[in-house]
Amino acid sequence: MTSNVNPSIIHIEKDNLKQLTTEVKETLATDLQIISEENKKFGLVDMWNSQKNMRTAISRRRYYPKSF
Protein backbone atom coordinates (compact mmCIF):
# COMPACT_ATOMS: atom_id res chain seq x y z
CA MET A 1 0.00 0.00 0.00
CA THR A 2 1.41 3.39 -0.96
CA SER A 3 0.55 6.66 0.64
CA ASN A 4 1.40 10.29 0.07
CA VAL A 5 2.48 11.95 3.28
CA ASN A 6 3.38 15.62 3.43
CA PRO A 7 6.23 16.64 5.68
CA SER A 8 5.19 18.20 8.98
CA ILE A 9 7.68 21.08 8.62
CA ILE A 10 7.15 23.51 5.78
CA HIS A 11 10.22 25.25 4.44
CA ILE A 12 9.79 28.93 3.53
CA GLU A 13 12.37 31.13 1.89
CA LYS A 14 13.83 33.85 4.09
CA ASP A 15 12.48 36.67 1.92
CA ASN A 16 8.93 35.30 2.07
CA LEU A 17 9.19 34.71 5.81
CA LYS A 18 10.36 38.27 6.38
CA GLN A 19 7.52 39.63 4.26
CA LEU A 20 4.95 37.59 6.21
CA THR A 21 6.23 38.66 9.61
CA THR A 22 6.76 42.39 9.05
CA GLU A 23 4.53 44.79 10.95
CA VAL A 24 2.05 46.78 8.92
CA LYS A 25 1.09 50.23 10.18
CA GLU A 26 -2.66 50.75 10.09
CA THR A 27 -4.72 53.89 10.42
CA LEU A 28 -8.16 54.30 11.91
CA ALA A 29 -11.03 55.75 9.96
CA THR A 30 -11.90 58.99 11.74
CA ASP A 31 -14.66 60.20 9.40
CA LEU A 32 -17.19 57.46 10.29
CA GLN A 33 -20.49 58.38 11.86
CA ILE A 34 -21.26 56.16 14.85
CA ILE A 35 -24.91 55.33 15.43
CA SER A 36 -25.64 55.11 19.11
CA GLU A 37 -28.54 53.25 20.69
CA GLU A 38 -30.06 56.60 21.72
CA ASN A 39 -30.34 57.78 18.11
CA LYS A 40 -31.75 54.53 16.70
CA LYS A 41 -35.48 54.63 16.03
CA PHE A 42 -37.88 51.69 15.95
CA GLY A 43 -39.08 51.56 12.36
CA LEU A 44 -41.47 49.62 10.20
CA VAL A 45 -38.89 46.94 9.36
CA ASP A 46 -38.14 46.43 13.04
CA MET A 47 -41.85 45.98 13.75
CA TRP A 48 -42.21 43.46 10.90
CA ASN A 49 -39.17 41.52 12.10
CA SER A 50 -40.50 41.42 15.66
CA GLN A 51 -43.88 40.09 14.51
CA LYS A 52 -42.23 37.50 12.26
CA ASN A 53 -40.09 36.24 15.13
CA MET A 54 -43.14 36.03 17.39
CA ARG A 55 -45.06 34.00 14.80
CA THR A 56 -42.11 31.61 14.45
CA ALA A 57 -41.82 31.18 18.22
CA ILE A 58 -45.53 30.43 18.59
CA SER A 59 -45.54 27.91 15.75
CA ARG A 60 -42.52 26.13 17.21
CA ARG A 61 -44.22 25.99 20.61
CA ARG A 62 -47.25 24.33 19.01
CA TYR A 63 -45.20 21.90 16.94
CA TYR A 64 -42.79 20.87 19.71
CA PRO A 65 -44.83 20.55 22.91
CA LYS A 66 -42.87 20.63 26.10
CA SER A 67 -42.61 17.01 27.15
CA PHE A 68 -39.65 17.24 29.49
User: What's the pLDDT at 41?
Assistant: 79
Within a domain: 47: yes
User: What's the pLDDT at 66?
Assistant: 63
Strand residues in 1-68 grouped as ranges (E): none
Within a domain: 65: yes
Q: Give pLDDT tens digits along the chain (68 positions).
A: 567 777 778 788 999 989 888 888 888 878 877 766 666 778 888 899 988 888 877 777 766 666 54
CA angle, corner 44, sides to 33 and 62, nearest 5? 120
Within a domain: 11: no
CA angle, corner 25, sides to 19 and 31, nearest 5? 140
- pTM to 2 decimals? 0.32
Within a domain: 55: yes
User: What's the pLDDT at 39?
Assistant: 64
Q: How many domains does the chain have?
A: 1
Residues near 20 by Cβ (< 8 Å), separated by ≥ 6?
A: 12
User: What's the pLDDT at 1?
Assistant: 59
Task: Report how far Cα 49 is from the mean position of its chain's Cα atoms.
Answer: 21
Within a domain: 31: no
In terms of residue numbers, what domain contains 49?
41-68
Within a domain: 28: no
